[in-house]
Amino acid sequence: MKQRKQRRWSKFSRIEIWIHVVLVSTTVCFVIYAFSPSSPVPHVDVLETGDPLLQIDSYTDGSHTGLVFFALSPGCRYCRQSYPFYEALIAMRDQKKPDLPVIAAIDTSSNMRLQSFLLKEAGVRFDSLIALPFHSLKVHYVPLVAYLDNQGRILKIWEGQLSEEGESEVLSALFQDT
């Protein structure tokens, strides 16, 4: 009888030991993974001030005072939430700088008809809505607003949904000399 109890106890001990080994091993692996230095983030080209914004040459031929470029996505809620600002910017442009083109672009992988419909429903009327390959343009975030000179070089970039201060900064940059 005593021998039988010992055997049961020894089997239980082995199982318990294995459970502890598995738990400790898992914990050690987690700690090593969680606190080890991560691999370096791969380099991503981004738009920078002074870069030419390629593929919109017809708008940057020197005949305009500059250009306002918007990068949008039909599925982006921040883009849709920014429509009132876009509408106000275009209205101010109409009054102060009617020769300043304001164009919007969506990625070539996006739905042009949907974006056009959403803008029309919101009452936002850009001078042009075009499809461009965002990746080759180095556009990685939407919404994006870029102010370009008449040669197509970027003067200023604003990424993401803008705060009231950000919206004021855009309007000041675009209409400061009027």
pLDDT of 145 higher than 90:
yes
What is the amino acid identity at position 148? L
Lookup: tokens for 36: 């080890």
User: Which positions ≥6 away from 38 have C-beta within 8 Å?
Assistant: none
CATH number of 57-175: 3.40.30.10
Domain spans of the chain, in order of start: 1-38, 57-175
pLDDT at 21: 82
pTM of the model: 0.67
What percent of the chain shows pLDDT beyond 90?
22
Q: Do the beta carbons of residue 174 and residue 146 sit within 8 Å?
A: no
Residues 6+ apart with CB under 8 A from 66: 100, 147, 148, 149, 150, 155
Q: Does residue 143 have a cis bond before it (omega within 30 degrees)? A: yes
Q: Per-residue confidence at 176, pLDDT binned at 50, 70, 90?
A: confident
pLDDT, tens digit, for every residue of 3-62? 555 555 555 577 777 787 888 888 887 777 767 666 555 555 555 555 556 556 565 555
Of 68-77, 109-118, 168-177, the least confident: 109-118
Beta strands in the chain, from DSSP E residues, in sequence order: 67-72, 102-107, 128-132, 144-148, 154-159
